[in-house]
Structure 1
Amino acid sequence: MKNFIDDAKDALTTVIKTILPNESYVGIVSFSDNGHLRKRMTKITSESDRNSLADSLPVIAVGGTSIGAGLETCYQELLTLNNVTGSVIYLATDGKENKSPYTEEVLPKLTKKGIVIHTLAIGSSADKKLNNISKITGGSSYFYSSETVDSTSLVDALIEPFTESSKDRIIRIKTVHAVISTHQVFETNFVIDDTIGRDTIVQLTTHVLRDVNLTIKHSEMTFTKIGTAGDNSVIYVKIPGIAQIGNYDVFLSSTTNDISGTLSIFSKPVSSKQAVLQVNVLNTEPEIQYSAGLLFPLYAAVYKGLLPVTNATVMAVIENEIGDRFNTILKDNAIGADVSLNDGIYSCYILPNELSANGRLSIKVIAEGYSAKVVVEVTRSPGTKFTDDFEEQSIGPFMRVALAREITVKNYTLLDKNIDLIPPSPILTLQLSNISNEDNTYTITWYAVGDDLDKGNATSYDIRYSDKFQKLKTDPGHQQTITVGIIPKEPGETESFVFQIPNIQTNSTYYIAVRAVDDQNNTGDLSNIISVSILNDRYWFDDENTDGLSIAFLVGISIGAVIIVVILLVCVITLIKKKRVPRMSNYAI
């Protein structure tokens, strides 16, 4: 593993110089065989205070690893303050504890005082109990793989908890790794939306900053910072006042050195009363127990204030201990891990073939919206449909980034890639969209699902019907089948199928459901169940002379009753499923 000290020093300098708010008390402790107080608790009131703290960061690591000694030194220094309750320790290490005092000896006194500990495990050798230290004290645990090329997770992990704990909340817009040769130009962009813009900062974290040019352009405005030999680990541009809404272009170049560093962009709400657009990662479990049938859900909530944001693009970047990285898309489409359409909860499953090793994972979630909308409640007029209680309103473009707490993979084994045990996702969007009186046909629609849940393409569909609801629900494989000749579309696209029910009987109700099948004959769970009622009871009609009406006409008249049944069935299933989705919290986890 490469030496992380320089990288960690750069990232911590970033936190000290631009993230920690004024009036904060900050101290610095390092540890090896013993704890070393490098900087006493210092109240940040000026740029000089920040520079002094940054200059006190350690530059070498020698000796053993006594995490307990480091925590004890932190504890004693915190006691010099009048009130330590709610104080925060950020513990970062690449080592495994091998010297006393051990953490178990020190933690009780810290928890008794209400001290929160955030932890960062750096590399595969970092102590496995870091996560538990955070859990016991109410903190968050993060992971940085020093083996991953071009990762931003070190800067992400050090910034994330401080943005949440700050009284003046910081909204992270974007982080990206920048690699560029001398005299070349690196370009990227970011967006300021209508909920943020105050104290907007674009910063570069890297080792050498002399002659580095950081330029931001927006409309007719240009902001530039050129690094000097005296700049320490980070240079930044702060846009004065309230940044204007819109797109900003970022240009990075150097005339003397190659550049390899992390660009991070963040801002603050326009006002404390502003309904801020935010993304929160909702981890459900801290561990992934690996198996061939693994289905590990990942959720991210995208909200503007309390309003769910729909039609956003949400992606998770996942890095492991051996340096592997993969991306996966989270969707709000009621397919796969996502159980409710357009509720602002974006979901995906991490599948067995996406993992490659045991150990910790770092998960960064990126959310962007260029045609996004918010779901707002409206007053429903008498006689309108229940679905009219809500409507979507367009919002402007936005960008957000958030980091999940670490997740650990256990019991990983290399599996035969030809073994496929993952079925397609259950279909939760089946609905009756049309009934034809002329030829007694029915049209049903649903959103296509994938081969492996919501990934890839399914191979076929299995449509079943019965006049007994319970039989269809519990034993669909032995109910009547309807031949389907359609080829499944891409997940999320709308499927439409027209059919007739053979030997249809009047005064009967038929229940219909669909399952998707993949190329290994894995069959997805049953969809939501819809129903069709065929009636000729004159009670349902205004005209008493209806005895001679055709079945097709009766079916057409009964569609109102059918819609009511469909709504009831779909609502019941949706509400039951919905309970499985974690609540959105006010902080990223």
Structure 2
Amino acid sequence: MNRANKAFNPVVIYAEVSQGFLPVLGATVIATIEKDGAEAVTLELLDNGTGADTMKDDGIYSRYFTSLQGTGRYRLKVNAHGRNITTRLSLKQNRALYIPGYRVNGKIHMNAPRPKFADKEIQVKLGSFSRISTSSLVVNTAGDSAPLYPPCEVTDLHARIENKTIVLSWTAPGGDFDNGKADHYIIKSSKNLLDLRNHFDRATSLNSSNLIPKEAGREESFKIKPENFIIENDTIIYFAIRAVDDTNLISEVSNIAQATWFIPPKALVPLDDDSDNGGANSTVIVAIVGLCVVVVCTIISSTLCVLQKQKRRLEIEKMQKHV
């Protein structure tokens, strides 16, 4: 558990579950926080790469603790257990960021598709287990009132284009960091990445009034009909999002997602059956014409030979008469 020096600083509870040096995935990790004179608080720690968890599937299960009950010592007990059919032992794998393409002189060049591996190629099943660990935390708060926390930052915003519709997806933050749910979202777009990052409030706002935030940890999805965008080939649009809670506390700006409208070069279209038949008929016609030409040439040659022979015979007979 990380120490909190001020009331408004978030407290992060984390537990690393591993076998040797390899992370254990799919475990159920429950943290119980107790304080004298206060009710016990139970939290499920997550390894999903959002909220307090910085990296998905690294075996470190994390969660923000927002239910502080004033100054004092807090006792922590973490229970990690797994069943044979759900827990896996993850083998080491490359975590390098995959980039789908790059831009040179205004042209987009696509990289090869990211290789996909089946779970069985990078993970092995782990038997059932149960482990318990304990710790403690001393908190010094500035006052008796409970601190207010904003929603946590969205870190997995993703954008894609499907049938000229832009689809945004992300993991829902909570109303208090990664607990509860937000009140609403502020979604912005821009064709300039730096403008969106440095001047979020000035970017183009998207109407998300019909989008009702879900509980923290659930997947959100938002579709945009790009009537306001000129969708041309090689067009890149950037998106970012902030969450707002019911007390108007606002999260940090999310990661910036981009959607690229790219039309690949047209492939050669194979001829259909009718075209194939037409080509075959043309070949037959050419062959017939060629055969006719050969026959005509043969007849002409034969006729010339016969005439030459008759002419020579007449000349010989004429010479014999003079003799």
The answer to whether 1:295 aligns with 2:19 is no
User: 2:155 matched to which residue of 1?
Assistant: 428
Indicate if the aligned counterparts of 2:242 and 2:251 stay in contact, CA closer than 8 A.
yes
Write the deviation string for residues 326-380 of structure 1: whole angstroms up to 9, x where unpaired.
22221112222112122111111222xx22242322211111223222322479x
- 1:324 to 1:543, Cα distance in 2 relative to 1, 3 A: closer
C-alpha contact 1:463 1:515 (8 A) present in aligned 2: yes
Describe the superposition over 1:136-166 as per-residue Cα deviations: whole angstroms up to 9, x where unpaired. Answer: xxxxxxxxxxxxxxxxxxxxxxxxxxxxxxx
Q: Which of 235, 247, 254 is the aligned partner of 1:508?
A: 235
Please list the CA deviations of residues 102-123 of structure 1 after superposition, one character each: whole Å capped at 9, or x if unmatched: xxxxxxxxxxxxxxxxxxxxxx
- Distance in 1, matches of 2:125 and 2:198, equals 42
Partner SS state of residue 309, structure 1: strand
Give the one of 365, 377, 388 matched to 2:117.
388
Work out the number of aligned pairs and report it: 245
TM-score, normalised with respect to structure 2: 0.67
> Percent identity among equivalent residues?
30
**Structure 2 equivalent of residue 409 of structure 1:** 139
2:184 aligned with 1:460: yes
Q: 1:487 aligns with which of 202, 212, 219?
A: 212
For residue 322 of structure 1, report the CA deviation from its aligned partner: 4.4
Distance 1:531 1:513 in 2: 9
Q: Which residue of 2 aligns with 1:125?
A: none
Corresponding position of 1:442: 166
Give the C-alpha shift of residue 543 in structure 1.
5.9
What pairs with 1:324-335 in structure 2 (closer than 5 Å)? 324-335=39-50
Measure the CA separation in 2 of the matches of 1:392 and 1:448: 27
Matched residue, 1:528: 255
Correspondences of 1:184-583 after superposition (within 5 Å): 283-285=1-3, 288-291=4-7, 293-322=8-37, 324-351=39-66, 354-370=67-83, 371-377=86-92, 385-386=114-115, 388=117, 391-404=122-135, 406-415=136-145, 421-432=148-159, 434-437=160-163, 440-484=164-208, 485-501=210-226, 502-506=228-232, 507-535=234-262, 541=265
How far the C-alpha of 1:320 sits from its partner, in A, is 2.6
Q: Equivalents in 1 of 2:54, 2:194: separation in Å?
A: 22
Asked if the contact 1:335–1:453 (Cα under 8 Å) also holds between the matched residues in 2, the reply is no
Assess, with a 3 A threshold, how the Cα gap between structure 1 residues 490 and 443 changes in structure 2: closer, same or farther. Answer: same
Q: Deviations over 1:233-259 (max 9, x none)?
A: xxxxxxxxxxxxxxxxxxxxxxxxxxx
**CA separation of 1:421 and 1:320: change in aligned 2, threshold 3 A:** closer
Q: Greater shift after overlay, 335-344 or 503-512?
A: 503-512
Q: Structure 1 pair 387/429, CA: closer, same or farther in 2 (3 Å)?
A: farther
Contact 1:423–1:451, Cα closer than 8 Å, also in 2: yes
Q: 1:462 to 1:392 in 2, by over 3 A?
A: farther
The letter for the 2-side match of 1:361 is Y
Following superposition, the deviation at residue 436 of structure 1 comes to 2.7
Offset at residue 494 of structure 1 (A): 1.4
Pairwise CA distance, 1:399:
0.9
Whichever residue aligns with residue 411 of structure 1, its letter is: T
**1:472 Cα offset (Å):** 0.9
Q: Distance in 2 between matches of 1:284 and 1:387?
A: 36
Is the Cα–Cα contact under 8 Å of residues 356 and 412 in structure 1 kept in the other structure? no
Instruction: Give the conservation status (yes or no) of the 8 Å contact 2:161–2:260.
Output: no
Where 2:43 maps in the other structure, the secondary structure is: strand
Q: 1:403 is aligned with what amino acid?
A: T
Post-superposition offset of 1:496: 1.6
Largest Rg, 1 or 2: 2
Letter in 2 for 1:516: A
Q: What SS class does the counterpart of residue 388 from structure 1 fall into? A: coil
In 2, Cα distance between equivalents of 1:477 and 1:295: 26
Q: Deviations over 1:278-321 (max 9, x none)?
A: xxxxx444xx2242x23111211011222212222212222234
Q: What residue identity is the alignment partner of 1:362?
A: R
Distance 2:144 2:187 in 1: 36
Q: CA deviation at 1:442?
A: 1.6
Unaligned runs of 5+ in 1: 1-282, 545-589
Runs of 5+ unmatched residues, structure 2: 95-111, 269-323
**Relative contact order, CA 8 A, sep 6+: which one is greater?**
2
| Distance in structure 2 (CA, Å) of the matches to 1:457 and 1:302 | 27
Letter aligned with residue 294 of structure 1: N
> SS at the partner of 1:315?
strand
Q: What letter is aligned with 1:532?
A: A
Asked if 1 retains the 8 angstrom alpha-carbon contact of 2:2 and 2:11, the reply is no
> What's the Cα RMSD here?
2.8
Q: Decide whether the 8 Å contact of 1:322 with 1:357 is kept in 2.
A: no
Distance in 1, matches of 2:166 and 2:63, equals 32
Is the Cα contact below 8 Å between 1:447 and 1:491 reproduced in 2? Answer: yes
CA distance in 2, matches of 1:511, 1:493: 23
